Amino acid sequence: MRYDLNLLPVFLALVEERSVTRAAERLGITQPALSNALTRLRTLMQDPLFIRERYGMQPTPKAQELAPVIAAALAGLDEVIHGQQEFDPAQARQLVTLAPNSYVEFVLMPAIVARLRERAPGLRLRLTPYGTDLAETGVISGSTALALGRITDPPDNVVVQPLMDDGLACVVRADHPTVGDRLTKKQYEQLRHVNMLPPGRLRVGLFQALERQGLKRDVAVSVTHFLAIPDMIAVTDYCATLPRLICERLRSDPRLKVLPAPVDLGRFPVEMAWHVRYRADPAHRWLRGLIAEVAQEIAA
């Protein structure tokens, strides 16, 4: 029997997106074209494959069984074909999906975008959130090129590469009435704090670091994004404990002052992860090298 290999990426996109609209957008085709491909897939597989429900299209048991097999088959084809190709960044015109966590989006992405504009101006980026679940980014299936952040418990088909380490520092308003050029442990515990609640292990890491050092915080407010913090600190007597490189970005704000943490709170890793199918892909290898280069420069 002859198979139309063009149908297989459609199948995987539907498995991951659970929506004809989103799958078509991701593949760069029209919704009617995708619906037509789904009809052909159902005929080929002799199964409905996806059932419309209130919250999207749910894969049937047969679709769930086929998904890892098809993903592995496409990964093998990609590795063979891409390994024979060359990549010219100056001529690249493709869309690349990255999944940075909120830290990476704030600290690294501006510099990455600037470097790409210089070296691969035709490359387009699409960012998707990376929270607590690596699977939700699309990296495990290979539909997303890279996840960037703290990578925990990756499956066997995901490669993880360290990018850099970062530490922690504190930020208060520039004219704080009780904090001068240094912050003591006693002052730290007496202050009220703005608590950053990023998803995943970064949050756990900070809590554990404070516990190891016997530091206590009186948390006045918790937020979910770094961008909310500067304006809060500027109009209160609160303190925030943040990654050092984020504090360095805030140092240029005249309303704020950045201080070392009163005790050593340790360091945390920043990593990138990708599906093994991209190991030999020249374009992907080039992009990994560029991101690693940017991260090393910023960390230095």
What share of the chain has pLDDT > 90, as a percent? Answer: 52
Average pLDDT in the chain: 88
Statement: residue 167 has pLDDT above 80: yes
Annotation: CATH topology of 89-165+269-299 = D-Maltodextrin-Binding Protein; domain 2 (3.40.190)
Domain ranges (residues) in the chain: 7-82, 89-165+269-299, 168-266
User: What size, in residues, is the chain?
Assistant: 300
pLDDT value of residue 100: 95
Q: What is the pLDDT of residue 27?
A: 77
Return the CATH number of 7-82, one of 3.20.20.140, 2.70.70.10, 1.10.10.10, 3.40.220.10: 1.10.10.10
Both structure tokens of 180: 């001068």
> Do the two domains 89-165+269-299 and 168-266 of this chain adopt the same fold?
yes
For residue 84, the model assigns a pLDDT of: 54
Q: What's residue 119's pLDDT?
A: 95
Lowest mean pLDDT across 119-128, 156-165, 206-215: 206-215
Q: Please say if the pLDDT value at position 16 is more than 90.
A: no
Whether 254 shows a pLDDT value over 70: the answer reads yes
CATH superfamily placement of domain 168-266? Periplasmic binding protein-like II (3.40.190.10)
CB 217 within 8 Å of CB 195: yes
- Give the pLDDT confidence score for residue 83 in this predicted structure: 54
Tell me the per-residue pLDDT of 112-142, one tens digit each, with 9 for 90 and over: 999 999 999 999 999 998 877 787 888 887 8
Q: For the purposes of burial, counting CB atoms within 10 Å of the CB of 253, is it exposed (0-12), middle (13-18) or buried (19 or more)?
A: middle
* Tokens encoding 241: 């404990």
Q: Is the pTM of this model over 0.85?
A: no
Chain mean position to CA 136 = 10
The residue written with tokens 């998707």 in the block is: 128
Q: What is the per-residue pLDDT across 58-96, written as a single tens digit (0 to 9) for each? A: 899 999 888 888 887 777 776 666 555 678 999 988 899
